[in-house]
Amino acid sequence: ESQVELREQIDNLATELCRINEDQKVALDLDPYVKKLLNARRRVVLVNNILQNAQERLRRLNHSVAKETARRRAMLDSGVYPPGSPSK
């Protein structure tokens, strides 16, 4: 959520800088700053995508671990052991 909010703030600032640049009677070259903001926005989007992918992988891993833990607990409670596993 913070990544999305940061991206939106960067977009708003870039838009505002463009508007100010257009409204100025004296020519101020704000293009380099706008480009820096857009580059920062691109990096924020990239980091956000990486974080979302990592979070999804962790969620799936956590689900698999919980499923395996429940399966093993059920086997221990029932006293049934798979072939080749050590007994109690």
> For the whole model, what pTM was predicted?
0.57
Residue scoring higher pLDDT (38 or 65): 65
Helices 31-78 and 2-23 cross at an angle (nearest 10°) of 170
| Segment 7-29, tens digit of pLDDT | 888 888 888 887 877 777 666 67
Is 33 within the bounds of a domain?
A: yes
Is 85 within the bounds of a domain?
A: no
Is 69 within the bounds of a domain?
A: yes
Is 19 within the bounds of a domain?
A: yes
CA distance 56 to 26: 50
Which tokens go with 66? 């919980």
